[in-house]
Amino acid sequence: MSEAQHKFAFYLGCIAPNRYPGVESASIKAMKKLGVELVPLKGASCCPAPGAFGSIDLTVFYAMAARNLVLAEQMKMDIALVCNGCYKSIWEVNHKLKHNKDLRDGVNEVLKEIDMEYKGTINVYHTAELLYNDKFIGVDKVRNSVTNPLTGARIAVHYGCHLTKPHKDREFEKEVMLNTEHPSWMEELVAALGATPVEYRNKMQCCGAGGGVRGYDIVHSLDITNDKLINLKEVKVDALTDICPFCQLQFDRGQIEIKEKFGVSYDLPVLHFAELLGLAQGMSPQDLGLDLHGISCEPFLQKVL
């Protein structure tokens, strides 16, 4: 095994480690095989939740996100993370603080109370971005790492919102990631695992969970999710893959709630791309904790194992 070529502070967030721990373990193991070492970011907290927390007071939101950034600055490491919601907080606050002196000064005034200072010395990446960008890993290397190709599986992608939107503010090195109307870079990654990526109607629609809406009006929130599930059912996929544990929660546990509240069931397995990658690299469903999912992954697993 070759030495890790890249090292990142692994920012976990909440839902991955505390609800879908397979996303955490698969990310660490799969990325290691691809030459990327993910080092624990000790003492990190919630990003904090951009919708729920940011809606209350953005000033506190900036300071709380900055504290997480400073922990990585102290390690002199860039951050890698696995959640779009966390990306919105951690990447965007880093970006805002780097470019707005007034915000940075305000944040540092508070951080001084806990002997911290935000300096703006690191960058923030989503693991999906690391996988796609050949400067770090790239699609070819992902393809070459596959030992158990997911042949025959029809998989649709849910991109989620906060990794790429609003594209005007984002700064991806890979231009194609700025296409937010009809992107296909995730489909390239799905194909690299041997599976068949499947398009569906209104692919870029939100999962419905964000902005505190899941907590504020669950039926409204699930109705948005249901819209996507109807469109997914139409194209007969074996699984849906995501790059955001909050979207995953909304689609996975959400299907149970939709069954309760709307009386419709889909039984569509929902897997984070890290979990798919783990499977394709030969990790077992047990190693990935797939039994923790609300919707059984069995029918999908039978197809690919």
Partner 1 sequence: MVRTKGYPEALEKKLHDQRYYSEDSNPEFTKNVKGISRTIAHMCYQCGTCTGSCPSAPRSTYRIRKFMRRAVLGLENESLTDPDLWLCTTCYSCTDRCPRDIAPTDVIMAMRNLAFKRDIIPVNFLKTVQAIYSSGHGVPNNDVNRAARERLGLTRDPPTTHMYPEYMPGIRKIIDHYKLKANADRIVKEREG
**Which residues form the interface with partner 1 (CB under 8 A)?**
12, 14-15, 17-19, 21-22, 24-25, 40-46, 48-60, 63-64, 67, 110-111, 113-114, 116, 161-162, 165-168, 180, 204-206, 208-213, 215-217, 220-221, 223-224, 227, 286-289, 292
CA–CA distances in Å: residue 39 to residues 28, 158, 171, 245? 9, 27, 24, 20
Q: Residue 155 — φ and ψ, nearest 5°? A: -125, 130
**DSSP notation for 74-135:** HHT--EEES-HHHHHHHHHHHHHHHH-HHHHHHHHHHHGGGT--------EEEHHHHHH-TT
> Taking the complex as a whole, how short is the minimal distance between the CB of residue 197 and partner 1, in angstroms?
22
**Coil, helix or strand at residue 118:** coil
Residue 138 CB, nearest approach to partner 1 (Å): 26
Between 50 and 254, CB nearer to partner 1: 50
* Least distance to partner 1, CB of residue 276, Å: 16
Rank residues 195 and 274 by Cβ distance to partner 1 and give the closer one: 274
**In the complex, least distance from residue 143 CB atom to partner 1, rounded to whole angstroms:** 26
Longest dimension (CA), the chain: 56
CA distances to 96, 119, 284 from 188, in Å = 31, 36, 23
Nearer of residues 183 and 269 to partner 1, judged by Cβ: 183
- 184 phi and psi angles, rounded to 5 deg: -140, 15
Structural tokens at position 184: 């296909």
Beta carbon of residue 63, minimum distance to partner 1 (angstroms, whole number): 5
Between 106 and 149, name the residue whose CB sits nearer to partner 1: 106
Degrees to nearest 5, angle at CA 57 with 100 and 13: 85
Return the number of the residue (15 or 268) whose C-beta is nearest partner 1.
15
For partner 1, the closer CB: 1 or 114: 114
Distance from C-alpha of 158 to C-alpha of 206, rounded to nearest angstrom: 9
In the complex, least distance from residue 237 CB atom to partner 1, rounded to whole angstroms: 21
Tokens of 236: 């007969």
User: What amino acid is encoded at 188 in this protein?
Assistant: E
177 or 224: whose CB is closer to partner 1?
Answer: 224
Taking the least distance from each CB to partner 1, the nearer of 31 and 192 is 31
Name the minimum Å distance from CB 228 to partner 1.
9
* Residue 154: count of CB within 10 angstroms of its CB: 17
Q: Which of 77, 8, 18, 75 is nearest to 45 (CA)?
A: 18
For the CB of residue 222, give the shortest distance to partner 1 in the complex, in Å. Answer: 10
User: Whole-angstrom Cα distance, residue 180 to residue 159?
Assistant: 9
Q: Cβ contacts of residue 303 below 8 Å, gap of 6+?
A: 152, 153, 238
